[in-house]
Structure 1
């Protein structure tokens, strides 16, 4: 697992937590109705298993008491990346992974798809996430509905795809403009940049990645045009984020209104 020990992104919305990649706050956007999100609605990041002692102190200063981990059990085992205990932090396992997505054969197939059709591969993957992560996503939305006074963090391995889909749904139901959702997604390119040299060295040692390098580079991207297509995909396949929450997560109009009430000012 990659450990970035150097403070390298000490500016909003990124926050500095030693040993945690791509960690930033989400909030502060103006909505289509003229309201605004609270400055910090939620935090998002990549894997936090390499957090250092100093990082734990920095994390505590953020006031986060609940962490939702979207990673699959097999993923944690394969990458030897169990989350360490942190005093005062409730770690909630909420696997949002696609079944068998992390076995070498599946990875090889997916990387080949990213080599030949990057955008199509993203839309396929994001559709699979949205179809299979319903329990995980419902768990976090219920927390946001019931505990707006308890700042939380959501994360997966890179903090890009599973985390990105959750944040996209949240921003959509809160009425954030598409251009801001697109920009927020693209921030992951900045958030992952400091760890890329270490990550590259690590992955080049693994045949499944070394043999499909172009696909890996495409898979690791977070281009604005990918989110443009993803927003259209959510609206066409699920009739929008609000309908997705109602039909796939079994949340109702009252639940959605309460989340808006909690986080819009």
Structure 2
């Protein structure tokens, strides 16, 4: 596979919502059959807890009806990032990923792994997410199957790993070309850039991050080559996204075809 040096944008995917990091629409990508993923039907982002009053007005203009929050309860508490109230928007808690991943001891071990072997650390983490986030991911896929008239947002803290794994499965099951999936993942580097100075300032105050800074920098990356090997992992371990939805989420071929019809034009 040829990996482009610059992420490909089929159209301007990022949206300006004051107080929300790394928020963009997932759409406009071409599938292997020539169909196109409907734009402005599903969005992804990082933490939305700092949304401002102006941001709430901007968010309302998107027409998003449902927000799925992949964050763990202790993550929300530790980062003091409670879910805000948005008028006309249903907030659904759908914790996804690794148990106890956000306690300091676990974070320190993971950061050391990222400092030692970045690519393998991502593969291990993404495999763990795929294995443990099944209930959360099923919740969102069922929504996409049953409520295509309700645009939604999926998010975690950075909008990169748990959110990234869900979006990867979504794009794969729609048969979006690999090069677009790789580039869509890499867009998070762009999406997080404006928030990095403030995020760096906050994290440097916390010993677990300050003492493992190289690992943190690697963990915060979203390089194209990481997604290339992740796609290979999904195909080899789960028999692709279809296999994952069928065996891990208990969805069937009819469900998958309905999702495709809902989101491809």
For this structure pair, what is the TM-score category when the shorter chain's length is used for normalisation? over 0.9
CA–CA separation in structure 2 for the residues paired with 1:41 and 1:124: 31
1:248 corresponds in structure 2 to 248
- Equivalent residue runs for 1:7-46 within 5 Å: 12-46=12-46
2:7 corresponds to which residue?
none
For 1:131, the equivalent position in structure 2 comes to 131
- Which 4+ residue blocks in structure 1 deviate beyond 2 angstroms? none
**TM superposition shift of 1:36:** 1.1
Q: TM-score scaled to structure 1, two decimals?
A: 0.95
* Residues 118-174 of structure 1: CA deviation (Å, up to 9, x unaligned): 000000000000000000000000000000010000000000000000000000000
Q: 1 CA distance for matches of 2:217 and 2:44?
A: 22
- Rounded Cα–Cα distance in structure 2 between residues aligned with 1:84 and 1:226: 32
Any idea what SS the aligned residue of 1:91 has?
A: strand
RMSD: 0.7
Aligned to 1:116: 116
Aligned to 1:58: 58
CA distance in 1, matches of 2:194, 2:23: 12
Distance in 2 of aligned mates of 1:160 and 1:12:
19
Aligned partner of residue 71 in structure 1, secondary structure: coil
Structure 1 gaps of 5+ residues are: 1-10
Q: Could you tell me how far apart the structure 2 residues matched to 1:84 and 1:40 are?
A: 22
Distance in 1 (alpha carbons) for counterparts of 2:212 and 2:116: 11
**1:166 alignment partner in structure 2:** 166
The alpha carbon displacement at 1:34 in A equals 1.0
Report the 3-state secondary structure (helix = DSSP H, G, I; strand = E; otherwise coil) of the residue aligned with 1:92. strand
In structure 2, the residue corresponding to 1:216 is in which secondary structure? helix
Shift of 1:77: 0.7
SS at match of 1:77: helix
- Tell me the CA shift for residue 41 of structure 1: 3.2
Taking the aligned partners of 1:34 and 1:17, their CA distance within structure 2 comes to 32
Deviation at 1:263, TM superposition (A): 0.7
Shift in Å, 1:37: 1.0
Q: How many residues matched?
A: 255
List aligned pairs for 1:99-248, cutoff 5 A: 99-248=99-248
Q: Which runs of 5+ in 2 are unaligned?
A: 1-10
User: Residue 85 of structure 1: CA displacement?
Assistant: 1.0
SS of the residue corresponding to residue 153 of structure 2 reads strand
Do the aligned partners of 2:97 and 2:130 also contact (CA within 8 Å) in 1? no
